[in-house]
Amino acid sequence: MHELNGKVAVITGGGSGLGRELALRCAARGMKLVLGDVDEKGMAETVRLVEQEFVGTESATMRLDVSRLEEVQALADLCKSRFGAAHLIFNNAGVSVNGPVWTNTPADWEWVLGVNLYGVVWGVKVFTPMLIEQGEGHIVNTASAAGWLNGPSSGIYNVSKTSVVAISETLALDLRDVGSKVGVTVLCPAFFPTGIHQSDRNRPADKADTAEKSEVSLKRAAALKYAVENGRIPASDIAEMTLKAVEDEQFYVFPHRKIKQLISLRAEAASVEKDVFDSMNP
């Protein structure tokens, strides 16, 4: 989509982090906003910041659990009733747990895959037909470097983000098959400052069961917290890169250039067929 002014942006996970920065970058381009998140206070703060910087921006918010198809459908219905359309869809909500993969509980799997994987699945299912019918639109799926590189103690997160890359690539090919001009972008950042390491703050009570943290788990969690908080590229820059990718009809976005080098090294390790590739110690 080359012209975004006056169009409608839909952002899941719009209450904080990258979602908030995407909202600000969309508003800077004159877009109307529809935000969904379980964090209603966070969304209210996003709207406040948008209105403070870009006076007159039209917006709507909805408490949203992206793991539930019916709620994502309700978000689409809100877009239609409030603005008559949706054009730029950011399937962005995400959470994380850590620990050795055999220790993760069923609740861990259900929660993370519900948000990270099914949140994208339902966003694609609900909004793609709308965009095809309109004859215009673009879908941005937030994956991760973890969609390509599988680090330790992040098994469920790795599975979810690898799946997001797969869905995004397949979606783009399926749209090409039917002759649609709807665009697709898959965003694959490495560590950058967000609240992803504090995901538990929004964890639902019915999925609270998780493994007791071992010494290894605590060490990995501390390393993750440090990496996230000390990421060199701010969320605002990643959001701007993403909007420019949409305007340029760019499919892959790797804000951290080192990731592509590591992916190449992983491919070399696969060609040798001997040892597992360790992106932490390439």
> What SS3 state is found at 137?
coil
Task: Report CA-CA distances (Å) from 102 to 39, 136, 148.
Answer: 30, 44, 21
Buried b (16+ CB within 10 A) or exposed e, 114-153: bbbbbbbbbbbebbbebbbeeebbbbbbbbbbbbbbbbbb
Write out the two tokens for 203. 């964890």
Identity of the amino acid at 8: V
CA distance 33 to 23: 7
> What SS3 state is found at 274?
coil
CA distance 37 to 13: 5
Task: Please tell me which residue in 118, 157, 226, 252 is annotated as part of the active site.
Answer: 157
CA distance 198 to 178: 41
Q: In degrees to the nearest 10, what's the CA dihedral of 7, 13, 15, 19?
A: -60
**Among this protein's residues, is 157 annotated catalytic?**
yes
Cite the active site residues: 157
